Chain A
């Protein structure tokens, strides 16, 4: 059973635009929601994360919006740059399960110059 569903599968944005990636989860016991960025040939890098006690977290150009009642969270990349072109994964975990991460399917983002 896929517990974290991610969309879209791929996304093309113009430089300077806003990239938005969405995730939905099923397990209400999840209490930690990170986003990872992965470049070809590299391991995923932790980008930003949020806990369900806040509705938004911002770090530079990256913002997570969290809707607990809808069991959804999203990543917004403001002023998207060609260097942001990568695959983005959302994930979820719960502390009581030893922090094991369940990943979404991934979104391949292309930012055109």
Chain B
């Protein structure tokens, strides 16, 4: 499995500000994803980060609120824009490969609290 790191590990932010979360992988990967996990809840896919093109967003998530970059095969960022307390969650990146399995591995997460 890949070694995945996220920065920051946690942050407390003020309403109306933006936070950029970084995800770094120790090897080149085809697929990178961003998930949100609200307190005590399951994981919800925000978007697929595509290298060299725009991210593919899931229903209910939009680029203006969650812009994503993926400049290369080992790095991606997720920005949470114009934050509100409802954005308080754990944000997780994951990496995956299509072959030979659909395995996905998760980073440690970024715990965001919005006041």
Contact = CB atoms under 8 A, between A and B. Distances in A.
Give the most central of A42, A43, A93, A95: most B CB within 10 Å. A43
A101 to B, nearest CB: 6
A95 B56 CA distance: 16
B48 A34 contact: no
Interface in B36-81: 41-45, 48, 56, 58
Interface residues of A, number: 23
Interface residues of B, number: 26
Secondary structure type dominating chain B contacts? strand
A98 B92 contact: no
A100 B42 contact: no
A105 interface: yes
Contact of A104 (B33, B42, B58, B96): B42
A18 interface: no
Interface of B: 1, 4, 31, 33, 41-45, 48, 56, 58, 92, 94, 96, 98, 101-109, 111
Interface of A: 31-32, 34, 36, 41-46, 49, 89, 93, 95, 98-106
